[in-house]
Amino acid sequence: MPKMNLSHFEAAFLFSLLVSVVLGVVTKNTDRERLHYGVYTFVCFLLALFGIGWLMYLGHG
Amino acid sequence: MAKEQTEKESPGVRAWAPAVALGWLVPGGGHLLLKKTGRGVLLLVAITAMFLCGLMMRGTMFTPQGEDLLTVLINWGGWVGDVCGGVLYLMTVWLGYAQPDVAGHVHDYGTKFLVTAGLLNLLAMVDAFEIARGRKS
């Protein structure tokens, strides 16, 4: 099996994408709501990723 | 009386057990069995991709062990998450995958990917259960 060597950002991006797909599929009742919720959770993941990333960068001094 | 009426209205175990069991064994399998093909394929692809990424990152599989409470909770919780991966977990164990727990962020992400794939499959199983019971479309 090939080895994957991802950076923090790449791994977190991939994680966000795959989790958002599943959350979108299992939570809502119509396809439109599922798509909206999937995109919404993905954007939330990315905002948290960048927000916490900047916090750690600034907090590190 | 009211209980009997509720039992008559809600489908029995035979209605949902095959979907939940297949959903555990094959990610998205419950949805495919219930003729929700699009959603089933999406779940299959997303959960399998997450599990395979975890393997390619050389994540560690948890084993149920530990002495103090925190270690027991982490190991047993992680093991349950891994087992929820169904056939992906079973094949990985049968094929002898045994990655030791080593330092490094890639391995760490891999371990989380493996557990999360199982937990997402658990969510898919609950969804299949609700569809089979008629609570969701």
pLDDT digits (tens, 9 = 90+) for B108-126: 999 999 999 999 999 999 9
What pLDDT is attached to residue B7? 52
What pLDDT is attached to residue B28? 95
What pLDDT is attached to residue B3? 55
pTM: 0.89
How far away is chain A from the Cα of B67, in angstroms, using its nearest Cα? 31
CA distance B112 to B54: 7
pLDDT at B131 over 70: yes
Picking from B108, B100, B59, the residue whose alpha carbon sits closest to that of residue B82 is B59
Do residues A48 and A40 touch, judged by C-beta distance below 8 A?
A: no
At residue B99 the predicted structure's pLDDT band, cuts being 50, 70 and 90, is confident
Contacts of B46 in chain A (CB under 8 A): 18, 21-22, 25
pLDDT digits (tens, 9 = 90+) for A9-50: 999 999 999 999 999 999 988 999 999 999 999 999 999 999
% of chain B at pLDDT higher than 70: 93
Mean pLDDT of B55-83: 92
Q: Scanning the structure block, which residue is given the tokens 């798509």?
A: A35
* B19: contact with A, CB 8 A cutoff: no
What pLDDT is attached to residue B125? 96
What pLDDT is attached to residue B120? 97
Tell whether ipTM is more than 0.95.
Answer: no
CA distance B130 to B9: 14
The secondary element (H helix, E strand) that includes residue B71 is: helix B69-83
| Strand positions, DSSP E, chain A | none
CA distance B83 to B91: 11
Which of B46, B53, B106 is the closest to A22 by Cβ?
B46
pLDDT digits (tens, 9 = 90+) for B8-36: 566 788 888 999 999 999 999 999 999 99
Task: Take residue B6 and report the two structure tokens written for it.
Answer: 């509720």
Most B CBs within 10 Å: which of A6, A25, A45, A56, as the mutation test of the B interface? A25
Q: Scanning the structure block, which residue is given the tokens 């489908």?
A: B11
What pLDDT is attached to residue A61? 67
% of chain B at pLDDT higher than 90: 73
* Domain ranges within chain B, ordered by starting residue: 13-132
Picking from B70, B83, B77, B93, the residue whose alpha carbon sits closest to that of residue B121 is B83
Contacts of A21 in chain B (CB under 8 A): 42, 46
Q: Using the beta-carbon criterion (under 8 Å), do B57 and A23 form an inter-chain contact?
A: no
At residue B137 the predicted structure's pLDDT band, cuts being 50, 70 and 90, is confident
Of A53-57, B43-47, B96-100, B113-117, the range with the lowest mean pLDDT is B96-100
* Domain ranges within chain A, ordered by starting residue: 30-61
Q: Using the beta-carbon criterion (under 8 Å), do B53 and A1 form an inter-chain contact?
A: no
Task: Take residue B4 and report the two structure tokens written for it.
Answer: 């009997």
Picking from B126, B38, B50, B42, the residue whose alpha carbon sits closest to that of residue B88 is B50
Taking the mean position of all CA atoms in its chain, how far away is CA B79? Answer: 11
Tally C-beta pairs within 8 A across A and B. Answer: 62
